[in-house]
Amino acid sequence: MGDDQRGDAGQGTYVEEGAAFTRDENYISDRITADGASGWPVEAGRYRLVAARACPWANRTLIVRRLLGLEDALSLGLCGPTHDQRSWTFDLDPGGVDPVLKIPRLQDAYFARYPDYPRGITVPAIVEESSGKVVTNDFKQMTLDFSTQWTALHRDGAPELYPEGMRDEMDALMQTIHVDVNNGVYKAGFAGSQEAYDAAFLALFARLDELSERLSTRRFLMGDTITEADVRLFTTLARFDAVYHGHFKCNRTKLTEMPVLWAYARDLFQTPGFGDTTDFRQIKQHYYIVHRDVNPTGIVPLGPDTSVWLTPHGREELGGRPFGDGTPPPPVRESEAVDPAGRA
C-alpha cells in the first residue's frame, strides 16, 4: 500500500525509523468532465461519492458538494472512522454494506476496476454506481472539477469557489498550504527522525504565521469571498487542537492560541457547509484508534471542548460577502446530518 494510505487509512506501518514521511500522490487521474473527454461525462445520478467524515481530504469534498448543491446529482456513501488493515469499510450502514454499491469495503470498488490495484485504498473516491468501479480518487482535482465541470448541476445561488481570474494565485497558495500545512502535520506526526520532525514542525508554524498575517487584513484567503483555498485550509484547522497538536506533536501553539486563525476558523465553522459537515468524534476516533504506533493504547481523549467553535468570532468587521453573488446552501438534509454527538 502507498504512503498516502499509511497516512490516511491506517494501512501498515506509519513511522519508519530514521525516515521522513513521504506521501504517495499517485492517484487515479481520470476526471469526470462536462464534455466526457476522459470517458466519464458529468451525469446526474451516475456516480457515488465515497467519503469519511474523519478524513480531512474527504471532508473537503463534503463541503464543496454541499456549497454547490450537488446532493441530488451525486449520491453520498460514508465510511466509518476506523477500519482494518485492508480498507475503509461501510460499518456505519446496516449490515456493514453500502446500500447503493452493495459492498462492505471500499477496496471492492477499486478491485472492480483494477483487480491488482497496488496503491492505497483512499477516500475520497468517486464510484460509478452501475458498474461499481472506482473512477477517481484524485482529491485535489475532484473538488476543482465540482466547481468547473459540474456547473450545469449546481444549485441556484452556488458560489464561485474557483474564480477564473484568481486561479494562478490560488493554485500557488493552495500548493504551499498543502506542502507545509495540510501534509505538514502528517510529516511532523509520522516523522521517523528528530531532524525530519523538526523540519516539518518549523515549516508548519512558519506557514501558519504567514497565513495569519495574510488573514489579519482580509476575511478570507483570497479576499472578500470564500474559495476552494479556504476549504482546504479549514479541514486542517478543524482537526488541529483535537488531533494534530497532541497526537502529531504540532504543539508550539494551539489553534485557540493563534487569534487570527482561530477567529477565521470559527467564522468558517459557523458558515453553512463547514461546521455542519464536521464530526469531531469521528475525527478523534480515526486518528487515535487507527494510528496505533503513534498512540499504542488506542485511547481517545475526551477533550477539547468543542462548544468554543460556536463563540463569536468578530470577523464581520472585515466586511466581505462569504458567498459573493451567491447564497448560502439550504439546511443540511436530515439523512446527511452530522450526529449531534459528533459536534459535542
pLDDT per residue as tens digits for the range 251-307: 999 999 999 999 999 999 999 999 999 999 999 999 999 999 999 999 999 999 999
Model confidence band, residue 26 (pLDDT cutoffs 50, 70, 90): confident
**Entry pTM:** 0.95
Told to judge if 117 belongs to the known catalytic residues of this protein, a careful annotator would answer no
88 is in an annotated binding site: yes
Q: Does 160 score more than 70 pLDDT? A: yes
Q: Which of 186, 197, 264, 288 is catalytic?
A: 186
Told to judge if 79 belongs to the known catalytic residues of this protein, a careful annotator would answer no
The proportion of the chain whose per-residue pLDDT surpasses 70, expressed as a percent, equals 94
User: Coil, helix or strand for 104?
Assistant: coil
| pLDDT tens profile 180-197 | 999 999 999 999 999 999
Model confidence band, residue 340 (pLDDT cutoffs 50, 70, 90): confident
Q: Does 53 score more than 50 pLDDT? A: yes
> What pLDDT does 8 receive?
53
Q: Does 107 score more than 90 pLDDT? A: yes
Model confidence band, residue 248 (pLDDT cutoffs 50, 70, 90): very high
> What pLDDT does 19 receive?
75
> What pLDDT does 23 receive?
82
Model confidence band, residue 1 (pLDDT cutoffs 50, 70, 90): very low
Integer Cα distance of 80 and 197 in angstroms? 30
User: Coil, helix or strand for 134?
Assistant: strand
Query: What are the structural domains, with CATH classification, of the chain?
Result: 3-153 (3.40.30.10), 164-343 (1.20.1050.10)
Residue that the C-alpha cell 458529468 belongs to: 42
β-pairing, 47-51 vs 125-128, is antiparallel
Could you tell me where the beta strands, DSSP code E, fall in the chain? Answer: 47-51, 75-78, 125-128, 134-136
> What pLDDT does 185 receive?
98
Integer Cα distance of 184 and 204 in angstroms? 6
What is the residue-averaged pLDDT of the chain? 94
Q: Does 5 score more than 50 pLDDT? A: no
Integer Cα distance of 259 and 32 in angstroms? 40
Q: Which of 14, 55, 250, 288 is catalytic?
A: 55
How much is the average pLDDT of 175-184?
Answer: 98
> What pLDDT does 86 receive?
84
Query: With contact defined as beta carbons under 8 Å apart, do 5 and 118 qualify?
Result: no
> What pLDDT does 4 receive?
40
How much is the average pLDDT of 126-131?
Answer: 98
Q: Does 2 score more than 80 pLDDT? A: no
